[in-house]
């Protein structure tokens, strides 16, 4: 199945409203960069690679609307467009990677008239979207080699088609393992408070007819203790140079449980999620989201008025708890510092 959550055609960006899944499949249309920014901020579109793709198209839309006779007049305005998109969510480095790539493209083609540059920026956004899908399929092939012939795989949050250009990172590895003929059953953490697992992962895998069992986040340890899980695979929002991994809140808890039970804990992420500019996970900004995500389920209030709330949307799993990092350039294990660095030497 691998649904494409983002589609561009004839000047219009269409994104499925992931806030309404699984009960409503509603597609929203965008033509303005400020609207795309709000879609990222409000999680109409979410998932590190998908956020990068959306931001790239947002930047292209913003560029289209800049009135400038030359590059000197164009580029400062384009930087403002990218800054507004960059301010939407702080943790997923793919957002900044995509915007940096769009700004690099503009500078590298400064000699072209603004009208031609704007067209080129749109094509660059389309290239980022197409590459993401291809990279994830390659990543899936690398990662599936780690999955046993028969495997009960726990995953957290949604690192699937909905979080990417259409195939998935963690779920891309699972799709590739199934395609390789392996017997894979997935246990999906519901992933409170935004419920990406119950609303998105369960929906995706059910559509793909991949066996999936939904569990509450607090059930993972029990199932591991009963020997019902063989391995864990998750996505990532930012990986530091030493292999520390920022991912959806609750991932660190699952990693500790996996270690306790001697289970492999795999992370699947493209090179655009690896941030070699930061030495370790302590430098990764962690987004704190609206308290209402915790105190309410839709309109239903789940907690007393005025209660104190914390809502960090991500946590950091230290590299020592990560068995392997799966990328489109191969699998890194053990010495992440040099292993991750070496990936970039292989070119994109």
Ligand X SMILES: CSC[C@H]1O[C@H](OP(=O)(O)O)[C@H](O)[C@@H]1O
Q: Which residues bind ligand X (CB under 6 A)?
A: 46-49, 157, 159, 163-164, 169, 196, 234-235, 237, 247-248, 313
236 belongs to an annotated ligand binding site: no
Q: How far is the CB of 59 from ligand X (least distance, A)?
A: 19
**Nearest distance from residue 197's CB to ligand X, in Å?**
10
Is the CB of 88 or the CB of 295 nearer to ligand X?
88
Residues assigned a catalytic role? 237
Would you tell me how many other CB atoms lie within 10 Å of the CB of residue 277?
Answer: 10
Q: In angstroms, give the least distance from the CB of 199 to ligand X.
A: 10
End-to-end alpha carbon distance in the chain: 26
CA 245 centroid distance within chain: 12
Looking at beta carbons only, is 42 or 218 nearer to ligand X? Answer: 42
Distance from C-alpha of 22 to C-alpha of 117, rounded to nearest angstrom: 39
Q: Please state the closest distance from residue 4 (CB atom) to ligand X, in A.
A: 14
Is residue 48 annotated as involved in ligand binding?
yes
β partners of residue 274: 239
Which CB atom, from 63 or from 251, has the smaller least distance to ligand X? 251
Q: Measured from the CB atom, is 247 or 323 closer to ligand X?
A: 247
141 is an annotated ligand-binding site residue: no
- Report the residue number, 114 or 270, with the smaller CB distance to ligand X: 270
Q: How many residues does the structure list for the chain?
A: 348
Q: Is 333 annotated as a binding residue?
A: no
* Count of Cβ atoms closer than 10 Å to residue 162 Cβ: 27
Task: Give the pair of three-digit tokens for residue 214.
Answer: 């939904």
**46 among the known binding-site residues?**
yes
Q: Does residue 89 have a known ligand-binding role?
A: yes
Minimum CB distance to ligand X smaller for 53 or for 229: 53
According to the 3-state scheme, what is the secondary structure of the chain? CCCCCEEEECCEEEEECCCCCCCCCCEEEECCHHHHHHHHHCCCCCCHHHHHHHHHHHHHHHHHCCCCCCHHHHHHHHHHHHHHHHCCCCCCHHHHHHHHHHHHHHHHCCCCCHHHHHHHHHHHHHHHHHHHHHHHHHHHHHHHCCCCCEEEEEECCCCCHHHCCCCCCHHHHHHHHHHCCCEEEEEEECCCCCCHHHHHHHHHHHHCCCCEEEECHHHHHHHHHCCCCCEEEECCCEEECCCCEEEECCHHHHHHHHHHCCCCEEEECCHHHEECCCCCHHHCCCCECCCHHHHEECCEECCCCCCCCCCECEEEECHHHCCEEEECCEEECCCHHHHHHHHHHCCC
Residue of 56, 45, 145 lying closest to 94 (CA atoms): 56
| 242 among annotated binding-site residues | no
Q: Which is nearer to ligand X, 149 or 290 (CB)?
A: 290
Q: Which residues are annotated as a binding site for substrate?
A: 46-48, 89, 196, 247-248
């Amino acid at each position: 199945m691998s649904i494409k959550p983002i589609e561009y055609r004839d000047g219009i960006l269409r994104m499925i409203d992931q806030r309404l899944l699984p009960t409503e499949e509603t597609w929203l249309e965008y033509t303005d960069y400020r609207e795309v920014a709000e879609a990222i901020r409000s999680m109409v579109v979410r998932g590190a690679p998908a956020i990068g793709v959306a931001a790239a198209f947002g930047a292209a839309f913003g560029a289209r609307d800049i009135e400038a006779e030359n590059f000197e007049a164009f580029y400062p305005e384009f930087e403002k467009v990218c800054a507004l998109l960059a301010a939407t969510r702080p943790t997923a480095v793919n957002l900044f990677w995509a915007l940096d790539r769009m700004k690099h493209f503009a500078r590298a083609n400064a000699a072209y008239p603004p009208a031609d540059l704007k067209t080129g920026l749109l094509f660059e956004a389309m290239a980022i979207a197409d590459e993401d899908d291809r990279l994830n399929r390659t990543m899936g092939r690398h990662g599936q080699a780690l999955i046993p012939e028969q495997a009960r795989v726990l995953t957290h949050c949604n690192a699937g088609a909905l979080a990417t250009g259409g195939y998935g990172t963690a779920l891309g590895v699972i799709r590739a393992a199934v395609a390789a003929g392996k017997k894979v059953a997935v246990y999906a953490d519901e992933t409170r408070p935004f419920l990406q697992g119950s609303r998105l992962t369960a929906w995706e895998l059910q559509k793909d007819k991949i066996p999936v069992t939904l569990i509450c986040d607090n059930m993972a340890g029990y199932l591991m203790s009963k020997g019902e899980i063989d391995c864990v695979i998750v996505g990532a929002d930012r990986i530091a140079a030493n292999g520390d991994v920022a991912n959806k809140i609750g991932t660190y808890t699952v990693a500790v449980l996996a270690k306790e039970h001697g289970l492999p804990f795999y992370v699947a992420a493209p090179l655009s999620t690896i941030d070699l500019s930061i030495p370790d996970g302590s430098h990764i900004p962690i987004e704190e989201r609206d308290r209402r995500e915790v105190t309410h389920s839709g309109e239903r209030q789940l907690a007393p008025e005025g209660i104190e709330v914390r809502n960090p949307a991500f946590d950091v799993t230290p590299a020592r708890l990560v068995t392997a990092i799966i990328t489109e350039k191969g699998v890194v294990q053990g010495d992440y510092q040099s292993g991750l660095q070496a990936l970039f030497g292989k070119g994109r």
